[in-house]
Structure 1
Amino acid sequence: MQQRQLGSFTVSAIGLGCMNICHAYGAPVSEAQAERLLLAALDQGVTHFDTAALYGFGASETLVGKALSKHRSQFTLASKCGMQGVDVAGDGKLVRVIDGRPATLRATCEAALKRLRTDVIDLYYLHRWDKQVPIEDSVGALSDLVRAGKIQTIGLSEVSAATLRKAHAVHPITAVQTEYSLWTRNPEIAVLDACRELGTAFVAFSPVARGFLCGPIDVSTLDPKDIRRGMPRFSPENHAANLKLLPPYMAIADEVGCTPAQLAIAWLLHQGEHILPIPGTAREDHLKDNLGASDVKLDAATLVKLDALINQQTVSGNRYNDQSNREVDTEVFA
């Protein structure tokens, strides 16, 4: 496994996103299956595990803590605050809430430390910028957690270059995490350059395009609660148009001699040494497939073909619906 820098941490070039084991893509896997997956990832050289208070409303952090706390010295642990489940109506039902107030961030961190069974979180992200709270206030609260020894470093998720610079002026930002893949190029507008300028790592989630770049998906067979059902790119019209990109894409994977998922992740690894993909999965065979991308070498001609085939102009549909777009702070193409 290649190694890359995540701030002061040396980690596997490919990490593991820990959302899929309990959240977003249908029914969660069993606790035993999740534990096997996490331990398999560690055994296969993954040293960067990424979770969040939001994922399963604490379930992902709990699973990571149970499975990996005995091996805490062997990996870099990242989690997120600022977006979590809250019992708003007082009826026991949790709903997703974005809340970047300092008191909330402190409380979320304390709860995360207990679930993760650790004394310190290596990299703690603001999952979303709460636009009702100045970014300087939220980052200031996180810097207090650094001084208190609760977290080691600070990250931001789904923010613009301008917001990154404002935050970095308060406290060094170790990483920015945003969706980035062949079919989501928004970071190329400004954030990637800002990260290079500031010495901030860029952590790319959804590197295989919500599974699209792994092969054809029949949306009608997805679980009713699968988040892709509400994403514009998977609507019938857009999905039909996007499926036309897959045959030439699969042909390139055949030419390279790798799987489609490996091609997508390898493309990301070739975009810069400061880029760290974190594909998520709940299956051990997919985990092994994803990690194999570390060995895939792409020549300049192949990179040119991929860039021309799948990009912001050839993909149909927005990556998020209107509500989700309002919640993020990332730049968008005109």
Structure 2
Amino acid sequence: MDKIALLGGKTLPRVGLGCMGMSEFYGDNDHKHNLDVLNRSVELGYRHFDTADMYGQGANERLIGEFLSNQSRKDLFIASKFGIRRGPGGGLSRVIDGSAAYVKEALYRSLERLGTGYIDLYYVHRRDPNTPIEETIGAMVELKKEGLIGGIGLSEVSVDTYQTAHNVHPIAAIQTEYSLLSKEPENGMLQACKENGTAFVGYSPMSRGLLTGQLNASTVSQNGDARQFLPRFSGENLDANLTLVEALTELAKDKSCSLAQLALAWVLAQEEFIHIIPGTRREKYLLDNFNSLNVELTAAELLWLRAHFDEGKVAGSRYPEAAMAGIEN
């Protein structure tokens, strides 16, 4: 398995760090501890850090900005996203905005929070159905010409939207959920990325911790943990999915690796242009996730894992119905 691959014009380790959980969605956070984890990640070899303006209503970008102030900016690759405007106080209400005016407004605010003069990879977080994607990408191209952003990316879009955008300007990366439990990118997107030379960034490659074997109903039900509202983590669905995960124990033992590393290695093995951005707030898992680059799975093991997590065996969808409405298929 190749351990590095191109992303936004840079050669990077194929395991990056998803930073969303350091600001919300997974319970309480410790700011100083999160900074320590971010700094430690660089020592371990991480270079790719993924954030978004909506995470913590800007708090996540400010955290990354503070982290960057103590690092060599040129050595790190920062990806952020725009387009989801949340309601006051971080509520669930949101508006998707991909208008040219908002693209620029959002970027300037992100740059200020990050304390940097440029963002290496800037994603459309969700496509605005009321704005032609050509308009959104056109505005991003102007920002790229100004040197404010590097690569242009898209998140959770259809193949048609991706191809239309790519015709306006080459798309550097597509970001979509991809794991043993969520194989939707295989329905055309991975093939299109391969044909066009676009990197693919898989988020939630451990299905929000479900594939680690460390979760249970009590963990998910804690205050501030958004997973309790996701169908895949609810009641009988959670029980069924945990049973699927438990069956990985023997294989992990044979491979002398963790369940999480099995899950991550499976995603990485699908295509050499795939990057993953598992998130964590604990140094133990930071190292564990990065070392998934060293786990080699045989062809037979890869096939067994695919069959074991056949789509028909996975209980519950990724998001509630209302949230799925914003995701293109």
TM-score over 0.5 (shorter chain):
yes
Query: CA offsets per residue over residues 215-269 of structure 1, 9 Å max, x none?
Result: 0522234323312111111110211211221222122111211001111111111
Cα contact 2:237–2:316 (8 A) shared by 1: yes
| Superposition CA RMSD, Å | 1.4
Residue 326, structure 1, aligned to residue 325, structure 2: yes
Aligned length: 325
Which residue identity is paired with 1:30? D
Equivalent of 2:204 in 182, 206, 210: 206
- Provide the residue aligned with 2:51 in structure 1: 51
Runs of 4+ more than 4 Å apart: 92-95
> 1:115 — aligned with what?
113
- 1:224: which partner in 2? 223
Alpha-carbon distance, 1:279 to partner? 0.2
CA distance in 2, matches of 1:225, 1:291: 27
1:268 and 2:267 matched: yes
Helix, strand or coil: the match of 1:209?
coil
Q: How do residues 268-307 of structure 1 correspond to structure 2 at under 5 angstroms?
A: 268-307=267-306
Counterpart of 2:242 in structure 1: which amino acid?
L
* Percent sequence identity over aligned pairs: 44
Would the aligned equivalents of 2:57 and 2:90 in 1 still touch at CA under 8 Å? no
The gaps in structure 2 that reach 5 residues or longer are none
Residue 311 (structure 1) shift: 2.8
Alignment of 1:126-145 (within 5 A): 126-145=124-143
Query: What is the CA–CA distance in structure 2 between the aligned matches of 1:311 and 1:147, rounded to whole Å?
Result: 44
SS in 1 for 2:208: helix
* Pair 1:176-2:174 in alignment: yes
User: CA offsets per residue over residues 297-319 of structure 1, 9 Å max, x none?
Assistant: 11111111101101312111111
Q: Distance in 1 between matches of 2:307 and 2:267?
A: 15
Does the CA contact (< 8 Å) of 1:57 and 1:84 recur in 2? no
Q: CA deviation at 1:93?
A: 6.2
Partner of 1:242: 241
Counterpart mapping for 1:302-321 below 5 A: 302-321=301-320
Q: Tell me if structure 2 keeps the 8 A contact 1:54–1:96.
A: no
Q: Secondary structure at the match of 1:173?
A: coil
3-state secondary structure, aligned to 2:143 = helix
The TM-score with structure 2 as length reference comes to: 0.95
TM-score (norm 1): 0.94
Amino acid at match of 2:128: D
Per the alignment, do residues 238 and 14 of structure 1 end up closer, same or farther by CA in structure 2, a change over 3 Å counting? same
Aligned partners of 2:8 and 2:150 also within 8 Å: no
State whether residues 185 and 311 of structure 1, in contact with CA within 8 Å, keep that contact through their aligned partners in structure 2. Answer: no
2:82, 2:90 → 1: CA distance? Answer: 19
The code of the aligned residue for 1:322 comes to E
Q: Is 1:39–1:68's contact at 8 Å kept on the other side of the alignment?
A: no
Deviation at 1:132, TM superposition (A): 1.3
What amino acid sits opposite 1:119 in the alignment? G
Structure 1 unaligned runs (5+)?
none
Amino acid at match of 1:78: A
- Give 1:184's aligned amino acid: S
Distance 2:219 2:209 in 1: 14
Q: Which residue of 1 aligns with 2:64?
A: 64
Comparing 153-162 with 237-246, greater Cα deviation is found at: 237-246
What amino acid is aligned across from residue 305 of structure 2 in structure 1? L
- Corresponding letter in the other structure for 2:15: I
